[in-house]
Amino acid sequence: MKIGYLGPKATFTDLAVTTMFPHAEKIPYSTIPECIDAVSNGEIDAGVVPLENALEGSVNLTLDYLIHEQSLPIVGEIIAPIQQHLMVHPYHAHHWTEVKEIYSHSHAIAQCHKFLHANLKKAKHVYMTSTSAAAKFVSEHPHLPIAAIANRLAAKEYGLMIVQENIHDHDYNHTRFIIVRKQNEPLKMDSPLYAGDKTTLMVALPKDQPGALHQVLSAFAWRKLNLTKIESRPAKTGLGNYFFIIDIDQKMDDVLIPGAIAELEALDCTVQVLGSYPYYII
Ligand SMILES: O=C(O)C(=O)Cc1ccccc1
């Protein structure tokens, strides 16, 4: 089985894929859209991309690309702990406090904001497509006084030295990665890491209807459907037009979720099921 992921080698996504699919052929892609496109054209059997971080919130690129560009079903989710380390080329190990630039994924930099503010206030932040792309860049420019924020595997893979460990601001730093496929077929994963099922809906509200969101929420509330996330994203059709991404803490059933969807549609909402899938906690 071929599984694509946000690369290059040694991203957090790579770690999640390796844990969940130890026997798969792993194919790295430089960006999230490239990975999602590869699933669409059938180059790979499934793609794994980051969706949401506990400290920084959603990876908007993933949500927006799935909603506006390539609509693919979510067939699974992996939740993994994230530990961020500061690393430099070994030449700079003894004067790492003098680095002028810090390279990483924007979420990784945001997760280490307090550390950077206290220790490397003057260094410029440079955003890369992933943490390991940053580590690779730092290793390829040994003469530059720069550092990367990435994981331990990236330090090893790209020959960098970790000069400060665990620099993320809060201990509870977890990321949700989603598994997307072309067809809505679950991957066979008899994993002891299985932790439950979820259903994700996209709901667009009717225009200018007072109380519409309240009515949407009550369709779930009186059915006792437990929501674990609600988030608004711009519909990209005009200022002030939003849709909602809603996660329900259970798998699609025959009665409750279809009933809630029918009620929302009767309120003139547009509803799309983005997936009903198992999740795994590493
Ligand atoms: O860049 C990576 O390594 C990723 O897999 C995306 C990411 C970035 C920051 C925290 C978690 C995942």
Report the complex ipTM.
Answer: 0.97
Closest CA to 207 of 156, 146, 268: 268
Residue 109: pLDDT band with limits 50, 70, 90: very high
**Residues forming a β-bridge with 201:** 246, 273
- Segment 258-271 mean pLDDT: 96
Considering the entire predicted model, what is its pTM?
Answer: 0.94
Domains and CATH numbers, the chain: 1-80+172-187 (3.40.190.10), 83-162 (3.40.190.10), 195-281 (3.30.70.260)
Closest CA to 20 of 190, 219, 264: 190
- Segment 55-62 mean pLDDT: 81
Q: Which atom of ligand 1 is nearest to the CA of 6?
A: 5
Q: For ligand 1, is residue 132 a contact (CB within 6 Å)?
A: yes
Burial of residue 257 (CB within 10 Å: 0-12, 13-18, 19+) is buried
- For a mutational test of ligand 1's pocket, the pick from 58, 85, 105, i.e. the residue with the most ligand atoms closer than 8 A to its C-beta, is 105
- Segment 3-21 mean pLDDT: 97
Residue 137 C-alpha from the chain's centroid: 22
- Segment 68-97 mean pLDDT: 95
**CA of 33: how far to CAs of 62, 68, 187, in Å?**
8, 11, 21
